Structure 1
Amino acid sequence: LKLGAKRRLRMAQTSVETSMKMRVRDDDGNLKVLALFAKCTECRCSGFRPVLNYDQTVEDGGLFLVDFKHIRNVDSDAVCRGCNHGIESHAANSVKPTKYEQEKLIQLANDTHGLHNRMATQRMSYTSFIKSSSYVSALKKWSTVVDVPFGFPKFEAMSIFNIVTACVAFYGESTENIQHNLDCASKLLTIINTWKIPTPTVYLDAVPKADRIQYRLFYTRWMYFVILQQQFKSFKQYEAVEIFGYKGLQFFLNFALSSQGADLQSVEELHEFMSSLVSFVEMSLKTPIKLRMVLPDGLELPKFTRLSEREPSFESSRPASREEDKPSRKRTKSESSLSTDLFLRAIVKTVNDVDVCRGETARIEEKNGIIEFKVIGNSLKPFQDRETTVSLLQLQSLFSVQLPKMPKEYITRLVFDDRHRNMMLLKKGKGVIGGICFRPFPTQGFIEIVFCAITANEQVKGYGTHLMNHLKDYQVKCGNYHLLTFADEFAIGYFSKQGFSEKVEMPKKLYQGYIKEYEGATLMGCQLHPQMRYTAFSYEVCPMSEVKYPNKTRKYGGIEHIFRYHGGNGLRFKDIPGLESYNDDDSPAKDDDLESKIKLILKKLNADKWSWPFVAPVDGEMVPEYYDYIEYPIDLKTMGDRLRAKYYVHQYLFIADLCRMFANCYSFNGVDTEYYRCGYRLNKLALELVTKHFPSSPLRPILPELKPLHDEH
């Protein structure tokens, strides 16, 4: 009896399974197409293949080589040529979808088919492969829910549209002002929403300091949910300004700044609105702001060109949907009246002005006594100032928090090393909020920056730049004109902004062996100018950018007729009044015998018995302090070299060298020395020779008032 019951139960299950498999009819064309993606319940076959060869059934890409219309005409009792099982075995595990769900799945299959055809003939992005794989995975489950590894919209709580609209409402003073800002907001939203987003390679070339991983994620999301949705309408078309927020807006502004930074004219109309927007974004990032998008009566929210209302960029393999029949919305007057380049120039000017304002804020706070800068270092004396010790401890704690990868013991050892110095930034009521630890090498003329950090809640206020400028001014006073540091990948951007470069101008032999090299870090250097005040540079140079220079390329009409009355005949010399009475005797005549006269004078001076101290340059090893005291040394040998090099083109140059040679002798040697006596005697001979050969010269090697004490004559 038990065996009979089991047999009847098995027959009942087989009957149920058979009834489930027999649900595909000849007129179920959609189910036949969907069976291409359904796994077989009796083997490992990945999908129903009634037409393709066995070699083409291994990979999913092979199923797109067949026309879906041919699949619809396959008999319901056809078997799969990959596994020899019927179509019922491939559809057995799936719940039969409704007619509406079948239409959505077929639309998804058509889009996937078209995407594969494009990838076979064109060079597609990595996002296209992700989208294709996601679509195939969804089709295998007979589901329209596509799983993607990088999230779903909306990606941020505050969208770009909400940020811009809230900014317009926040700064609204009058109806006219709000309307103007709405026009600017509409233009900005249209530009962002229709932005031809650059590839990660192009973007990172233009903005090398950007976060590579964050931008790649942003680019993938943009391509997947914005660009590809314009081409395949299986899913909802998303608007970029509605699914991205602060990060997307910052990526756009940074790229606009890098690509449009050269042209900054004619942007006054948009500058005020962009200043308000940038300030609003910074303020909302620091302190959360409740969005208020309430506008006065009669004013509408900003309008922008929606991608869902535009024509598709190319024809897909599926029939047109109802949305394609809708007429595209005409662009508003505010969108067409302002050019894209003009708006981007306004963005550039605004961002530049914001950077200047940050530095100006730090300078004003220093002037008002809110912040101050000090240079301190640890002393090995037993009775060190308590305030210095407390400041060093605060700086050590700040470096430990802001530089978590650095060992705390290593930071402590360098901060409290008596060979290191610390430039500190102190704020009233908070103590040390930033600092730079460095080691000076005064004999080599450079310093090595070891640590540099600003506390987290005081960043993006211009303190870092102002701190570095104070360090530069301090090193200029100390005579160190080179700053060196080993920067990791996160610090290269900051040091590049401060004027550091990977091309170190300092000779390598001056710093090699003095500083320690680090793996994974880049050596960067900054050369200082001894006559520049870095803390006042932006304040003094900023007004220069506002100077309006005349446009030399413009042609002005109305003056070409002034000189037409002159026929162009040359003016005769006798017609020039006063030319006949002009006498050119006052101009100095060229002395053809100048070289021979100078050669004769030098020969007689070298032959004199008192010339032995002046025959050759002073030996620096025997008299090391001579060249520290004498700024312009000269001797008879050097004068002979200058004569052969045609240096003495006038008698004044030669006589001036003679005067300098004797003046150096008198200033360095005392009247009781033999050198002073020799110089005095040779000076007498030189005066006689110059008077003889250059009688008209007003310049003479005059004898000093003090005579040598031991003069034998």
Structure 2
Amino acid sequence: MLSSGSDTTTNKPSKRKLENGEDSATNIYKELEEPLSIPEKPAVIEERDGIIEMRVITNNGTMDNLLLLTSLKNCIRTQLPNMPAEYITRLVYDNKHQSMAIVKEKKRVVGGITFRLFPENNLAEIVFCVVNSDEQAKGYGSHMMNHLKDHLKDNENVKYLMTYADNHAMGFFKKNGFTTEITLERRLWVGFIKDYDEATIMQCKMIPKVKYTRLQEILARQKRAIQIKLAERLKQSTKYPGLQLFHKNGVKHVDPMTIQGIKESGWDPEMEARAHGNKKTNRSIMASITAELKKHAKSWPFRIPVNGDEVPDYYKIIKAPMDLMTIESKVENNCYKTLDDYIQDVRLIFNNCRIYNAEGTIYVKCANGLEKYFNERLKFYDNANNNGIKRVKYS
């Protein structure tokens, strides 16, 4: 778990004398206290110099806030031209919503995040997240998100952030700690946050001890601590005798954790599984893609099995029927041994549709559109987790 550089801990490392006479714990703490050289992003520098300020604004009826909300509304409309203007206006001015805004010159908003709180669920929904295009190279987006996280966890007791992101926004949210693997109980978010077609639900679970506006410093200190510890262990490497077990009684297998030095090295079987894309990782990818397909606007013909009473000849023509509900059940019951097996079933849906329906029908158009989206999602997860689906063919 991450912790700030100023946090103290009672679990101090065991003391061992080094060549200079100092014990290892003292040596590590001394090196950790040395100044860090961390390059600062322009957003951090500008906030420190008073060029920008971060403000939480609501429609409380004051002229100052109304002017800032109007500036934010215009910023959102410029950056999201395909979003209906009336919809943007309604949410920005709605007193159930709040906004974290980047303000320049006391009155001009150059970026903002509009959000809604669900305090009883420890949840906040991000509705809009924008930065003026001419300001995006300064790190405003991530800096604003870090401020929002600190504000929500420190002042509103929020533990989870959720949002729907389109393909263009997913990269930004992933860089800022969001994931498509939803761990928050469905009852706490389904029916609360707004559902958007052709967008993917994403979640960020915040860590209470982390000061997100100091995240770069925290990570740098952790990295330094690990490097110091590794260097120290290299100096004190231990040689162990070879194994003699295989020369006795025909032994062919041995538990790696019983071999001297393995446990001390910090290795465990889970590390090996993660390195090779284990079944749990693959299963989560399948579950995420299936959920995304079901939410897609063109998936409506494929969400449940075809009703044989309504389409009497369907099962005479289609000998291997498949649908998203069946796939979801197979994923939940761990029926797919590989991702290739899963992908074959998904493609079966599209192939069956094109066999039964004539070219140009609404059903074939839906199949083609959903298959294109499916290929995009495969490429996305391939980039995010090469170990998991490195060998997947997209078409």
TM-score (norm 2): 0.47
* TM-score, normalisation: structure 1: 0.27
Larger Rg: 1
Structure with the largest fraction of strand: 2
- Ranked by relative contact order (alpha carbons within 8 Å, sequence separation 6 or more), the top structure is 2
